[in-house]
A and B are shown apart, each in its own frame.
Chain A
């Protein structure tokens, strides 16, 4: 791409890498004293300096920056007290099994303290090792921070890991912080009684950013640095144009209509990424148009798209099924759909009447598109024709889909509207 502007390419790369790096995004939101960042940092650093045990839950919807803020805090603390902190990170998606989790803890502890890790160690060995290490670290005034991502998944099963962790923290000698991160607001209710009584019940709630924060965030993310290897004049011009866009009423409208759907930061980042990647490399500046196309491309209606993809015959089958449902037939299968199809053909003399085999193929295509599905999971031995089916779209959706279909037969619309 020789004709393109190298400065613009560099700027685009910078913006893209920023949008993929959550640590960069959450920096500006952490200044104020009542932000989650300051609270969390205060809690953890006090338990590090005062050598006590602690446990905290970070709760908030997916993509609201719990892990990113925690990372920021941990990075700061690691640079402040490099000698006295070691961090163990677990993820509920990977280590919800107790055995697995303890093995991972042992592995990370070994890596941290340059010990030899044995893959063959049993559950008991590993838990013994962990408790031993907790005591040793406590004696050496080192804090171990356990980060449990997807905390709710650790609460499945017997919760042996949580119990042994929190129980070990009851003694005076140990020195550890357990930080649970979850998108379930009722995560602490999932705990067993013996575990809950050992938990501190400190919770930090992560809320979506306010309108002012959002504005600040946008500016922080999208504006180019003046003092870097990007040409100075270009960066200044870029920022000037960006300011105009950000102040534009239409832009605010776009952002608002997007944030109304889902106001988490991660969601917004995905949107911005789309907009930024549409940037015209020749001119090298963002335009309002980019955001508009990004909005129209990210607000999708999958079911409508799916109906638009259907062929006319498939639409006939959908309409037949809808009619059967309106007739309050409790359950129906391909054979009864075909009966309905034939009755429509008999009464209206439609041009689209095909043999059973062709319809069966269209029916299977619909199953594959997941516009319809089998009503139950039983009866695998039955052939497709006889298994009861159901529609996966509402009647309104079907009606809208038919209306926006390019060349929908008039008879189908008539049948649906009745």
Chain B
């Protein structure tokens, strides 16, 4: 076994893992089973000890303390009705504009993204609150569902971002730097969505008819009060991280504490909500930790076999243009994104790709942003895409799964345009971190 060349061993490892996943094995199980089998075959008993050392490394990392904190914060906000308030605000402010509610939805998504570490929170809550409201006013179902799904995926790109924390843990980049790098591309993508909605509604006003309700100037100004609490929270948490006042982990605790404070001030903090938030955080972190352990272990084995080295040498030997390597990696991400979960992709590919990216002389912070942009598409591409599932679970039955798939496609194209812009102009991502740090 040990005499097989590294690429063959790696190929066997990956294929058996994919086979187990096809059987429906939980990712953590698929990775651990293949990892234990490969470790034993390649290293004997000593290799199995990598499982325990990987476990302890995954547990003993101050950086990752931010994960449960940001998840906790997102759940509190989701339960404290911030989405309802914000939708009421954009309804008053922008309802009269053709496509205005759609544009407002993108803005709400960006605001929620700046408060929540995971994607999905915005999709679910807007799917429940904004979707029926917009359908009732005659908005096009596909445009609306697409907007909510794509906007919801912004959660990973606009900081804070759980996926970025995990990427930084694996690539040894700085969390603060990644957060700063995601902000401008995130706002740019939101801008692209807004322009798209505006253009489509300009061409065909039937897609987003203006609302009939009229509001006075006073009512409009008053509705801005809903921005105060989220604005304060976003300013504090991102200010602490990007301004470097505290470490990201400490800022995440401020965020979690602040979200409880806001809920309490608004009179929405209660025992049921707190219990739901605590228990849901527990369930999500159990999943994340066990995947982390399994994936760190699995990747140690193929690193130990020397797979990364061989891939690097192959690239050298074939004299592939460095940019082609990056494009090939992004294409890989796109294809993996159709079938796999984003956490699976980050754990499997980062230890393999990032050393090569570094070797080729690219900025790993820039590559992190490209990766996150690709993962946004993964949330929207069929057959396996979380936001498709979330949308299905909250959309009325009149919207078919086919509608949802079709709705996602134009936004995936917009995401690819955004990705291409960041590939062509790395400064979009790197300008802010270079400015601050």
- Are A and B subunits of one complex? no
Instruction: Write the residues of chain A forming the contact surface with B, with a CB cutoff of 8 angstroms.
Output: none
